[in-house]
Structure 1
Amino acid sequence: MSVTGDITLDNLRRDHANRFVKAVISRGKGPDGNGPATVERYLKQVSPVITTAIREFELPITNPFIGVTIPNKSEGQRKPRASFSTAELRAIQEACRGKNDQRRWAIAMLSDTGARLAEVVGLRKSDVVLDDPVPHIVITGHPQRRLKTPASKRKVPLIGEALWAAQQGMQTAGDLLFPDFAPRQPDSPVNAASASAALNKWLKDNKLVREGQTIHSFRHTMRDRLRHVEAPKEVADAIGGWARQSVGDGYGDGYELAKLKEYMDKL
């Protein structure tokens, strides 16, 4: 109300949306106020509510918050994360073998699965299947780790360093594969942000990354590696849990583990 005043929904106009954007920017603590990403996040929260109200009350207006201009949006966009070269990836994996502890096992798992960090640090021992013809992990939601999208639920073959990491983790105590990342409260989610900070610090301190590379770069790297072996897009999506782009992509049971492993063995 401090921005629009006490008006009815059908009197909302583009000017109100623009004033809202300016207000969000001005309330930031930094010298330039809130950045474009923060403004966009607020708009994504507000706009759907207005759209729903317009539809439900059958109002003859267009949502003025749709398509509103965000100043300096292009400047505020994140720089793309850099992938690892083959040599860089091998150097990290060798360093993990040398250190040989739970945090390094997690990095090794990331390096040869392309999974999200939260998915890996939230793995339970019951999610690891080593006695199958195709050893694999089962990524599924549970109280200690929610999934980002429906496509995130999947099975990923274990190869190379990821298989080694799983074998090491199965020897630890507790239900989690990597109990170092266990939350303080049993039913609380694992703290992926804390894990990210710790693992990124180790990579940086040991000069294993260059500018633009982070723990999330393993995910970008896996996508590149799959392209290099000419894996079909659907195979790459199935391995990485990337969201399906069309309705047709969601039909059927997807690829068998053996077929996914066939491509991963080429990496």
Structure 2
Amino acid sequence: MRSFSVKHVKTDNRNGHYIYRRRVPKALLASIGKTEFVSTLGRTEGEALVAYGPYHERIEHILALAKNGVTGLSPTEQRERLKAMLEGWGADPHGPGPNLNEQTWREEAAAKLVDRYQNPDTGRYEGVPEKEAAMASALLGGVSKETPEPTITDAFKFYLTENVKSLPEQRKKQEQRLDRAKRHLIAAVGSDKFISKLTREDARKWRGIRMAGGVTVSTIKREKNDISAVIGVAQSELDAGGVNPFLKLKFQKTTVSRQDEREALPAHVIEGVYDALSKKRPDLLPIWTLLDFTGARPSEIRQLQVGEIILDHPVPHIVINERNDRTLKTSWSNRQVPLVGAALKAAVQAVKGVNDQAAPAFPRFYGEGGMDRLSQALKGRIRALTKNKRHVPYSLRHNMKDRMRAAEIFPDTQKAIQGHALGRGEDASYGGPVSLEQKRDALVKALGEHRESRQAGRE
């Protein structure tokens, strides 16, 4: 059972079968009518794995229905909850029941829900709450076999399911980003509209509201791209009709280009951060040094493992490769970056005394939440020296780019060091990789005076 670790699943001591067992919360006992959910998922782990997902989702729907009803849900979400309720009771989910016995108890259950809202004088039902009305309707006639037309909420939920990030930290940020985009869109159009009913006027209204809120054009464009992608997937996978009103939505030209969103750090800021970290945060000093001397992304350095810092090599270097627990921006980001000058000493310090090759080189900043901790720690030191919001830890990549350009390093070598695409077509398909020796010589040349000044500063 150790290899099959999922919520609410246990083995039956009598026969070894896999059982789903879950207690019903006390507050929901009256609504659900039982104290726990129990079901055999299978005799083998494989059978249990197949059966677990659908059954667990059904129970989740039943609990959600009992706790929150159907208020504020999209038609699709209402249908799923009510269908789960009927299936949980062993009833036909798409009709009134196959026999008189089932039809009778369902009619009686529906009557208990709504009879108190019947006007004795007119016989009409008045003021029936949405939850009771929906449940009574499902009891009397079931729910439609056809999935309702998707709304904005449905589209975002489906998109996230289909495109979810594999790593927890990335998944959390993706969920937060998409949730913000969904809320902004619903607020702008006034309701959880059907995807097919979204218009160009809705898109322009959304754009106007976001811009009036003081959001930067680049941020609005990224959010627009998310919304457009969600709508596109809903149209292709959920058969949502209409056109995608966010395609080719125009924006006013911004005075700040993507290149200018971050600026290279002034020399006094770089040196000031070195001084601040040397005095109070020696654990951050190797990371800052590696960022400064390799031009790598902060996310790439903070996720280094000990075995990816190669010191017993003619050209000491770090290995930046995609792993099961780490994704990279593009396939071009897989690379080896030489360690020269202060970077080599920082790398030696990072692995000193650690024999486990899979161990994190920087444990405090390695796992979930590590990127936020690293960013806040470094940004705080930078902000103490400059109020320019374009000056951030990532700016060191711009510093490296400027140094290599000034040293007239061959463009392909620059890209190989920083993990940028070599181009498309023939440019990307012909020729071998840039060697470690070539990259080392380029870094030595580009870092010349800066490398020497750091050496003098330590002495």
TM bin (shorter chain): 0.7 to 0.9
Q: Give the aligned residue type for 2:205.
A: R
| Equivalent of residue 146 in structure 1, options 306, 327, 330 | 327
Kindly tell me: are residues 98 and 262 of structure 1, through their superposed partners in 2, closer, same or farther at Cα, counting changes over 3 Å?
farther
> 2:421: which partner in 1?
243
> 2:27: which partner in 1?
none
> 1:186: which partner in 2?
none
Q: Give the aligned residue type for 2:311.
A: L
Residue correspondence of structure 1 range 110-149 to structure 2 within 5 A: 110-149=291-330
Q: Is the 8 A contact 1:103 1:180 kept in 2?
A: no
| Equivalent of residue 18 in structure 1, options 204, 211, 220 | 204
Larger Rg: 2
- Distance (whole Å) between structure 2 residues aligned to residue 168 and residue 85 of structure 1: 27
How far did residue 113 of structure 1 move? 0.4
Q: Is the 8 A contact 1:134 1:157 kept in 2?
A: yes
- Distance (whole Å) between structure 1 residues aligned to residue 303 and residue 392 of structure 2: 19
SS in 2 for 1:138: strand
How far did residue 247 of structure 1 move? 3.1
How far did residue 242 of structure 1 move? 2.0
CA RMSD after TM alignment: 3.6
Q: Is the 8 A contact 1:18 1:69 kept in 2?
A: no
Kindly tell me: are residues 231 and 253 of structure 1, through their superposed partners in 2, closer, same or farther at Cα, counting changes over 3 Å?
same
| Equivalent of residue 261 in structure 1, options 440, 444, 447 | 440
Could you say which structure has the higher helix fraction?
2
What TM-score results when the alignment is normalised by the length of structure 2?
0.47
Does 1:157 pair with 2:318? no
- Distance (whole Å) between structure 2 residues aligned to residue 42 and residue 204 of structure 1: 27
Further displaced range: 138-147 or 228-237:
138-147
Kindly tell me: are residues 122 and 49 of structure 1, through their superposed partners in 2, closer, same or farther at Cα, counting changes over 3 Å?
same
Equivalenced residue count is 253
Does 1:192 pair with 2:371? yes
Further displaced range: 196-205 or 93-102:
93-102
| Equivalent of residue 365 in structure 2, options 181, 187, 207 | 181
Offset from partner CA, 1:148-190 (integer Å, 9 cap, x none) = 221111100011121111010011557111223233xxxxx45
Q: Percent identity?
A: 29
- Distance (whole Å) between structure 2 residues aligned to residue 221 and residue 134 of structure 1: 23
5+ unaligned residues in a row in structure 2: which ranges? 1-150, 152-185, 447-459
What TM-score results when the alignment is normalised by the length of structure 1?
0.77
5+ unaligned residues in a row in structure 1: which ranges? 184-188
> 2:412: which partner in 1?
234
Does 1:104 pair with 2:104? no
- Distance (whole Å) between structure 1 residues aligned to residue 419 and residue 304 of structure 2: 15
- Distance (whole Å) between structure 1 residues aligned to residue 281 and residue 213 of structure 2: 45
- Distance (whole Å) between structure 2 residues aligned to residue 112 and residue 157 of structure 1: 9
| Equivalent of residue 217 in structure 1, options 395, 400, 405 | 395
SS in 1 for 2:264: coil
Q: Is the 8 A contact 1:200 1:215 kept in 2?
A: yes
How far did residue 14 of structure 1 move? 2.7
Does 1:169 pair with 2:350? yes
Further displaced range: 74-83 or 192-201:
74-83
